[in-house]
Structure 1
Amino acid sequence: MASEIELKLELTPDAVARIVEAPLLGPAQRTVRQVSTYHDTPDLLLSRSGFSLRIRKTPDGLVQTIKGPGESPSLLMRSEWERPVESEHPDKGDIAGLLGVDPSALRLGPLFTVLVERQLWYVEAPEGRIEVALDQGEIIAGDRHLPLAELELELKSGEEHVLFALARRLLAIAPFRIGVTSKAEKGFLLRDRLLSHRKPEAWQPDPDIAAAAAFRGLALSCVAHFRENEDIYLQLAAPEALHQMRVALRRLRSLISVCCPFLATADAGRFAEEFRWLAGSLAQARNLDVLSTRPDRLAAGAASEEARLSAHAAAGAALASMRALDLMLDFNAWLQCGRFLGTGADPRADEPLRDFAPRALARLRRRLRKRSRSFCDLSDAERHEVRKAAKRLRYVAEFFQPAFRSARAERRYRRFALAMEALQDHLGVLNDHATLEPLAVPDADPQRAGKAGEERARLLRRAEAALEAVLAAKPFWK
């Protein structure tokens, strides 16, 4: 088994042309045509287990490659098993051994094909050697086709920072986005259906993992959540994908906040503010999406569909800006190269997650209790702060819950999660009213206005009851 360390960059056709024509790489040192067929069982056992298996046909012959998850969460590293084969039919022995099943029980078959022209360069630097592979082509699954243009920077020798140094020089030539979806994953998405959004996938940190390592893994999962939905949004303009991007950024800022004691303080603060800016750049489009679905007087006063489309254009421009592209590259380098730790040796960085998490969760619970006092008498702005405090507690609870694995902890977490979901729903309705009311058609009917006031009072009572249920729930971390 080998560990493949590579950085994947997603390109537009214009970016491909600019990079190929720039003097940085020069003429390609080799160009090959590759045909890769990916195999799995009818119930997608390999994919569900985190593996992919392909047979690649090249001018040099056939190669079977199995890829699996790395030893730790990373956008750079995956485990890889590769060897020449004589047939286009997979050898089941290797993958059966990894899955712990009888080879004869595996019914493997082709699912989709990736056709690419690969151009290769080898970049020599004082601190390392990098193989640069530009793949242009398409993925074919039945009658569905997906264009493909990506640049893979594979580290042959040296440290990870060498990859990011080259990526920084490439970004000065042409824009790109960090790739988080493999060709295999793209093929499965193309084969099955186009998604309107992706929910965050839970990473299960071990209770004994160091808090700093848990932060890195969880932050990378947030980056993947954001980028998966960004790709969907840019392709389909799906409103729910836009919403999930904002969720990913809020989760990431919550994680940075709770782990701030052992992070490089200046960098952590800068990244948190930049992620706040990016989330804010998407806010108007999200607000108008929500407003456009309402049948009541709040929607009647909404800006035109032209304004909603204009807000989405502004969101797309923010995502395509050099500020956003720089942010994602810098943040990934900060995580992958271990620069996120502060210069001082804070003992909390090495503390097991099972010890770090309870204090963090208890602190967030106290903050929610403090901010929600006299809930019904709070202003809209103060209730919004309560909503943010509740979200932060919910996100961090989702991050750290796997560190508490007893049956009692799992029962308590389920009750907490249900109570928190109800609270978020009620606070969300109140926030929608506060946010959208300024856009509504004024209601001159005093009777309807009185009923609206009664409805608001009911919403406040329900939210207050849900808040009490959350604060009364027994902590699952004790």
Structure 2
Amino acid sequence: MANTTTATLSTTYRGPAAAGAPRLAGLPGVSTVAADPQQVLETERYDTDDLRLSAAGIELSLHRGDGTAHWQLRLPDGDDEELLRLPAAVPDVEGVDPDGPPGELDELIRGVRRDRPVRPVGRVRTVRVRTGLRGAGERLLAELVQDEVTIATLGGSTDLSSWTEIELRRVEGDAGLLTAVEQRIREIGAAPAPRGAAAALDRLLIPAPPRRRRAGKKGSAGAVLMDYVGTQVDRIAEQDLRARRDEPDAVHQLRVAARRLRSALQAYGPLLDCSRTRPLVAELRWLGQALAPARDIDVLRERITAQLDRTEPELVLGPVRAQVTRYFARAEAEARAAMLTELDGQRYTALRLALSELLTDPPLTRRAARPARRELPRLAARSARKLERAVTGALAADGTHRAEAVHTARKKSKRLRYATEVARPAVGGDAKRFGRALKGMQRALGDHQDMVVARGVLRELGAQAHSAGENGFTFGLLYGRDVKAAQQIEARLPELWRAAWATKNRRWLP
């Protein structure tokens, strides 16, 4: 904020606590000085006892004043337009805690606070007096807003700070009036300064520095692995918040981060004590399964809707789109409710805590101290051999077992691609090229799996249409198209495999 009185609409000054009001009598052009009744405004900052919200860049506060109260939540990197505001609960309502955040806000922060409740940790109390300076005809020339600000931390120990803050707002007054008012403000010991209550409270509520992440010696296999693990753990935390806000693609990204992390722990298991990582792998698999319905419903809805968009209108018989909309609206609501139940549960909380502990106290083995450039390719080669066996099995499978065998090859391909991602910082371009080649095959096999799952939904939609006396022809048509498209991918599998498994792509593997 600029601090000139001739070119700005407002200027803020700060002075010592209880500095008193500036003299406002006898100002040029001012005929009336009128002060409004005093207001008392309070803002309470809520956090866990170890300030987890502050550490994550989240600000949760309860605002009271002028006979109203509301909750406010600022999420990381959010601006004022993205603030979430909700009215505070009315006291004395049965079953409602007027001092706790609303469920809608707590749902968003639950993944950060985890097993810790939130409580008031700091308070800003402002006693405000607004004074108008009026000229001839009661024309408002300028306005002074004087605040007596007191901030305090709440808890085991209390820190206090207080000062006087004055904002001079120019309305229609000329520069001479503003200069005179500024001189009177300076007489009480105030000087231009930005508003600082929120920043001062932030300084008092600095969370303890997080425990330092350990990764082993630079350039070692363990260091490269733990750097990748840390990235995925951070991504889980980030996408958890986005998923709770129901943002696009958030559930998918949360699931991918969990899957990447699980694949890394499995592919590079010899670098870590398996007694610590085996339970984590199991819990990450559970998390992926818990997120799967919500993610799969999104994919299926988009797929079937897109198929209908590409279908000739004369082949869409009956209220097909309405039925699809009803089916997925209910399925999405049920899947999202189930997902949030799992994310709010103790099992997920325990997993997040265990992942934090993994980063600060990684159970690295002796093998993890070996050079990454030599050790990571050796371990990635194990995943490569598993993929080779899976693809060989898929190519040999008959029609009855072909879909299942292709799905197994897809999972092994994904695991190898993620293992390649881990090794990329140590290996360089060769690993990147191999990962790109694997992604091409994996995308095709992913489409194949989507078709297999979609056929079950299309069959169900067709049966529902028949039971309701409607025409199920369109759903049968889409089913047949998916069967044909899946068969085409199966026929292309040898070609996809040759492109991905080319010698030049895997020359970095021993």
Report the TM range for the smaller structure's normalisation. Answer: 0.5 to 0.7
Separation (CA, whole Å) in 1 of partners of 2:357 and 2:480: 56
User: RMSD over aligned Cα, in angstroms?
Assistant: 3.8
Unpaired runs of at least 5, structure 2: 1-50, 62-100, 107-112, 122-153, 164-191, 309-319, 463-471
Name the residue aligned to 2:254.
245
- Contact 1:239/1:286 (CA < 8 Å) preserved in 2? no
Please state whether the residue corresponding to 1:154 is helix, strand or coil: coil
Q: How far does residue 462 in structure 1 lie from its aligned partner after superposition?
A: 2.7
Name the residue aligned to 2:233.
223
Please state whether the residue corresponding to 2:508 is helix, strand or coil: coil
Give the share of equivalent positions with the same residue, in percent. 25
Name the residue aligned to 1:464.
494
Higher CA-based Rg? 2
Separation (CA, whole Å) in 2 of partners of 1:390 and 1:404: 19
Please state whether the residue corresponding to 2:249 is helix, strand or coil: helix
Name the residue aligned to 1:325.
349
Please state whether the residue corresponding to 1:434 is helix, strand or coil: helix
Q: How far does residue 250 in structure 1 lie from its aligned partner after superposition?
A: 0.5
Unpaired runs of at least 5, structure 1: 1-5, 35-86, 90-112, 121-132, 136-151, 162-204
Separation (CA, whole Å) in 1 of partners of 2:386 and 2:439: 18
Separation (CA, whole Å) in 1 of partners of 2:434 and 2:208: 44
1:356 and 2:375 aligned: yes
Name the residue aligned to 1:29.
158
Code of the residue aligned with 1:272 in structure 2: it is V
1:381 and 2:412 aligned: no
Code of the residue aligned with 2:221 in structure 1: it is A
Name the residue aligned to 1:397.
420
TM-score calculated relative to the size of structure 2: 0.53
Please state whether the residue corresponding to 2:392 is helix, strand or coil: coil
- Contact 1:365/1:471 (CA < 8 Å) preserved in 2? no
Separation (CA, whole Å) in 2 of partners of 1:216 and 1:363: 19
Q: How far does residue 473 in structure 1 lie from its aligned partner after superposition?
A: 4.2
Separation (CA, whole Å) in 2 of partners of 1:419 and 1:116: 50
Name the residue aligned to 2:389.
370
Code of the residue aligned with 2:277 in structure 1: it is A
Name the residue aligned to 2:208.
153
Code of the residue aligned with 2:230 in structure 1: it is L
CA offsets per residue over residues 138-190 of structure 1, 9 Å max, x none?
A: xxxxxxxxxxxxxx2337xxx769xxxxxxxxxxxxxxxxxxxxxxxxxxxxx
Separation (CA, whole Å) in 2 of partners of 1:252 and 1:453: 33
Code of the residue aligned with 1:220 in structure 2: it is G
CA offsets per residue over residues 339-390 of structure 1, 9 Å max, x none?
A: x23xxxx431211111111111221111101011152434322222211110
1:214 and 2:214 aligned: no
Structure 1 residues 454, 19: CA separation in 2 closer, same or farther (over 3 Å shift)?
closer
Please state whether the residue corresponding to 1:293 is helix, strand or coil: helix
Name the residue aligned to 1:118.
201
Q: How far does residue 448 in structure 1 lie from its aligned partner after superposition?
A: 7.4
Code of the residue aligned with 2:406 in structure 1: it is R
Q: How far does residue 393 in structure 1 lie from its aligned partner after superposition?
A: 0.8
Q: How far does residue 245 in structure 1 lie from its aligned partner after superposition?
A: 0.5
Structure 1 residues 31, 397: CA separation in 2 closer, same or farther (over 3 Å shift)?
farther
Structure 1 residues 305, 356: CA separation in 2 closer, same or farther (over 3 Å shift)?
same
Code of the residue aligned with 1:427 in structure 2: it is L
Separation (CA, whole Å) in 2 of partners of 1:28 and 1:269: 42
Separation (CA, whole Å) in 2 of partners of 1:333 and 1:365: 30
CA offsets per residue over residues 6-28 of structure 1, 9 Å max, x none?
A: 97356866479954479xx8444
- Contact 2:224/2:425 (CA < 8 Å) preserved in 1? no
TM-score calculated relative to the size of structure 1: 0.57
Q: How many residues align?
A: 312
Name the residue aligned to 2:88.
none
Name the residue aligned to 2:360.
336
Q: How far does residue 243 in structure 1 lie from its aligned partner after superposition?
A: 0.4
- Contact 1:375/1:464 (CA < 8 Å) preserved in 2? no
Separation (CA, whole Å) in 2 of partners of 1:216 and 1:30: 39
Please state whether the residue corresponding to 1:330 is helix, strand or coil: helix
Code of the residue aligned with 2:279 in structure 1: it is R
Code of the residue aligned with 1:29 in structure 2: it is T
